Amino acid sequence: MNLIAVIILFAIGMDFILNAWADYLNLKVLRPEVPEPFKAVYAPDQYRKSQEYLRVKTRFGWITGSVNVILLLIFWFAGGFPLLDEWVRSWDLNPILNGLIFIGILGLLKAIVSLPFSVYATFVIEERFGFNQTTWSTFVLDILKGLVLALLLGTPLLAGILFFFEYAGTYAWLFCWIAITIYMLAVQFIAPTWIMPLFNKFTPLESGELKSAILGYAQSIKFPVQNVYVMDGSRRSSKSNAFFTGFGKHKRIALFDTLIKQHSVGELLAVLAHEMGHYKKKHILVGMILGILQTGLMLYLLSFFISYQGLFDAFYMQYISVYGGLIFFAMLYSPLDFFIGMFMQMISRKNETAADRFAVETTGDSGAMADALKKLSAHNLTNLTPHPFYVFLNYSHPPVLRRINDIKGLDRMS
- Residues catalogued as catalytic: 275, 356
Please count the residues of this chain forming the interface with Zn ion, following the rule CB under 5 A: 2
- Smallest gap from residue 317 Cβ to Zn ion (A): 43
Per-position x/- string for 261-290, each x denoting binding to Zn ion as judged by CB under 5 A, each - no binding: ------------------------------
Minimal distance, residue 205 CB to Zn ion, in Å: 20
Choose between 122 and 351: whose C-beta lies nearer to Zn ion. Answer: 351
Are the CB atoms for 269 and 363 separated by under 8 Å? yes
C-beta closer to Zn ion: residue 81 or 223: 223
Nearer to Zn ion, 355 or 368 (CB): 355
Pick 372 or 384: Cβ nearer Zn ion: 372
* Nearest-approach distance from CB 255 to Zn ion, in angstroms: 15
Least Å distance between CB 375 and Zn ion? 16
Do 103 and 57 contact (CB within 8 A), yes or no? no
Cβ-based nearer residue to Zn ion, 126 or 352 = 352
DSSP states of 186-233 as a string?
Answer: HHHHHIIIIIHHHHS-EEEPPSSHHHHHHHHHHHHTT----EEEEE-G
Give me the phi and psi of 223, to 5 degrees please. Answer: -110, 115
| Per-residue binding letters, 340-369, with Zn ion (x by CB under 5 A) | ------------x--x--------------
Which of 81-110 are b and which e, b meaning 16 or more Cβ less than 10 Å from the residue's Cβ? beebbeebbeeeeebbebbbbbbbebbeee
Q: Supply the Cα-derived Rg of the chain in whole angstroms.
A: 24
To the nearest whole angstrom, how small is the minimum distance from the Cβ of residue 7 to Zn ion? 36
* CA–CA distance, 139 with 408 (Å, rounded to integer): 42
Where in 187-206 is the site for Zn ion (CB under 5 A)?
none
- How far is it, in rounded angstroms, from Cα 315 to Cα 106? 14
> Which value, to the nearest 10 degrees, does the dihedral of the CA atoms of residues 52, 53, 54, 60 take?
110
Query: How does DSSP assign 373-386, residue by residue?
Result: HHHHHHHTT--SS-
Question: What is the rounded CA–CA span in Å between residue 165 and residue 175?
Answer: 9
DSSP 35: P
Residue 261's CB: how many other CB atoms inside 10 A? 11
**Smallest gap, in angstroms, from Cβ of residue 355 to Zn ion?**
5
Nearer to Zn ion, 255 or 355 (CB): 355
- Binding residues for Zn ion (CB under 5 A): 352, 355
